[in-house]
Amino acid sequence: MTETIVITDPDSDRYHTFGYISWWQQEVVRNATVLVIGAGALGNEVIKNLALMGIGNILIADFDTIEDSNLSRSILFRTSDRGRRKVDAAAAAVKKINPDVKVKAWHGDINFEMGLGVFRHVDAIVGCLDNREARLSINRFSWAVNRPWVDGAIQELMGIVRVFRPGDGACYECTLTDQDYQIINLRYSCPLLARQDILQGKVPTTPTSASIVAAFQTQEALKLIHGMEVQPGKALMINGLTNDIYTTEYPVKEFCMSHSTLDPIVELPEASADKTTLAELLAVARERLGPEAVLEFDSELVVSMVCGSCGNVEPMFQRMARLYEEAAVCPHCGTKREMQMTHRIDGTEDFLDRTLAQVDVPPLGIIRARNGSERLYFELTGDEATFLQFA
């Protein structure tokens, strides 16, 4: 195949020099959608690079706000941004760097709050995180919907860059050691997860290691967008103290928990978290799988909190993983309450007229429908136009 090199006017085209790169297709870059998870030191650099290159749509996900200690490693933030949500400051900075680029800022917790379908509708995912839990979540989500992702990690002057692609080499979870699992399990051992404590891992980083690793991450994302060769399951190890750079390959774990892909995923263009009720989705499931079909959530839905001491019952309709520890305490008498929960909807519930959003399903969520061993995965595709709206 011959590549056409389009040379434009350097005075009027900011992408002029990219035109000299034989494989670079600005049209492909312009049409691409990249999800950047984490707007810290790495995220800032990745987002900056994507903006400079003219990536069409950038979805920035983070749950944090800006504090002074971020300012030494974050090119997109200014002193006046203190207290602002990282995603908002980053999105505003993108528009200043390159007004061609469309952005969407999403403030939330990637572990529990983003619809799985979002991952399906992006071209590349770049993980800019500092903790194992979120990496593990992204890894499982990517596998579930069969999407590649690029991981970056930094500590002092060290860095690691890795591309993971479902079914092609080791995944992130394949690389985890028993010690890694111990650390993760320790944090998840409390049934009402104290999420506040999870993401506080303070790893010493520098703006230089962040820009080095983020530059490699962005390049890998660029290759993925262009359909070029990458090296999934291998790590690029960068040692800034000794200036050693080498790659190493991870073995694939035979019984890795992440190796599971949802199949088949059925897009429901009419369904959305806001409008579709449980009864309506159950009806679709029964139309396709028969009258015995049920809906299943992959995590427990806390329907209500029941106080054994004063008898107070409080409706919750939140997934257990999203509840803070305070929710366990009865607001009336201060006793620890019992959770009433379910993960299956079989049509006998008294809350079937609730919308999916009202049972804590996010936009573009994916819900399993099952009848015996037959299963389907419904995506709330009707949310695509509103959720994936870039400005």
Chain residues in the site for Zn ion (CB under 5 A): 171, 173-174, 256, 258, 307, 309-310, 312, 330, 332-333, 335
User: Which C-beta is closer to Zn ion: that of 31 or that of 309?
Assistant: 309
User: Which C-beta is closer to Zn ion: that of 335 or that of 342?
Assistant: 335
Nearest approach, Cβ of residue 311 and Zn ion (Å) = 7
Nearest approach, Cβ of residue 290 and Zn ion (Å) = 34
User: Which C-beta is closer to Zn ion: that of 176 or that of 284?
Assistant: 176
User: Which C-beta is closer to Zn ion: that of 26 or that of 261?
Assistant: 261
Q: Which two tokens stand for residue 42?
A: 């790495």
Instruction: Give the whole-angstrom CA distance, residue 55 versus residue 140.
Output: 25
Instruction: Give the whole-angstrom CA distance, residue 387 versus residue 224.
Output: 23
Nearest approach, Cβ of residue 149 and Zn ion (Å) = 13
Nearest approach, Cβ of residue 24 and Zn ion (Å) = 32
User: Which C-beta is closer to Zn ion: that of 61 or that of 174?
Assistant: 174
Residue given tokens 């007004």 in the structure block: 99
Q: In what order do the strands lie in the sheet with 158-164?
A: 102-107, 57-62, 33-37, 124-128, 149-155, 158-164, 234-239, 244-249
Q: Which two tokens stand for residue 278?
A: 């449980």
Residues 6+ apart with CB under 8 A from 372: 292
User: Which C-beta is closer to Zn ion: that of 142 or that of 211?
Assistant: 142
The Cβ-side half-sphere exposure at 387, using a 13 Å CA radius, reads 27
Nearest approach, Cβ of residue 254 and Zn ion (Å) = 9
Nearest approach, Cβ of residue 376 and Zn ion (Å) = 25
User: Which C-beta is closer to Zn ion: that of 309 or that of 386?
Assistant: 309
DSSP class per residue in 101-170 = -EEEEEES-TTTSS-HHHHHT-SEEEEE-S-HHHHHHHHHHHHHHT--EEEEEEEBTEEEEEEEBTTBS-
Yes or no: say if 151 and 127 are a contact pair by the CB < 8 Å rule. yes
Nearest approach, Cβ of residue 257 and Zn ion (Å) = 8
